[in-house]
Amino acid sequence: MKSWWIALVFVLSLNARAQSAQEPFIDWANLHNPILSYPHWSIKDCAMTYRNSVFYVFFSAFYEEHGRVRSHVAEVSTPDFKRYSQPLDWEKAFELKIPAESFNQLVPCDAAAIYDARKHDGYFYLIYAGRSEATTYLHRGWNRLALARSKDLVHWVPAGTGD
């Protein structure tokens, strides 16, 4: 019985050493803000997800082009917040077509986020803002949040409209 106890303590100490020898999830001590910056872009409105040891970071990018300020959504990936992929080349990207309702006639879908709940009920869920006017609230309009779902990211069903 005593040898079993010694073996258990030995195995637990090896496991503790192996865990402490692993690299941290994020090398926090060696990160410095800002973690991402571009010399001729203003970036904001960020979101992030993590999959297969890679962080995917999405953000709005504002830049000047031919005397006009442009805006677009960009994505970069990083394993460690030190090295990043290049942004701006979405080969398989497409625009989501969200149905307009009475509250979102002017801008049907703005500032959206998708949640993949297929393992729960077979749907993707989209939470988004929309508006039908652009005069109130500093000309940003009266935005309201909405929810829609889709099985294929193409055909969206807004909440309260059935399937």
Rounded Cα gap, residues 88 and 65, in angstroms: 14
Q: Per DSSP, which regions of 3-151 are E strands?
A: 42-51, 54-65, 68-78, 107-116, 124-131, 144-150
For the cut 90, the answer to whether the pLDDT of residue 98 exceeds it is: no
pLDDT, mean of residues 63-88: 90
Helix and strand element counts for the chain (H, E): 3, 7
Domain boundary assignment for the chain = 1-89, 107-158
Task: State mean pLDDT over 130-143.
Answer: 89
Q: What's the DSSP call for residue 29?
A: G
Residue 19 above 60 pLDDT?
A: no
When the pLDDT of each residue in the chain is averaged and rounded to a whole number, the result is 84
Pick from 132, 143, 145, 133: which is nearest to 100 by CA?
132
Residue 15 has pLDDT above 70, yes or no: no
| pLDDT tens-digit series, residues 21-58 | 677 889 999 999 999 999 999 998 888 888 899 999 98
- Residue 89: CB partners within 8 Å, gap ≥ 6? none
Residue 17 CB contacts under 8 Å (≥ 6 apart), including other chains: none
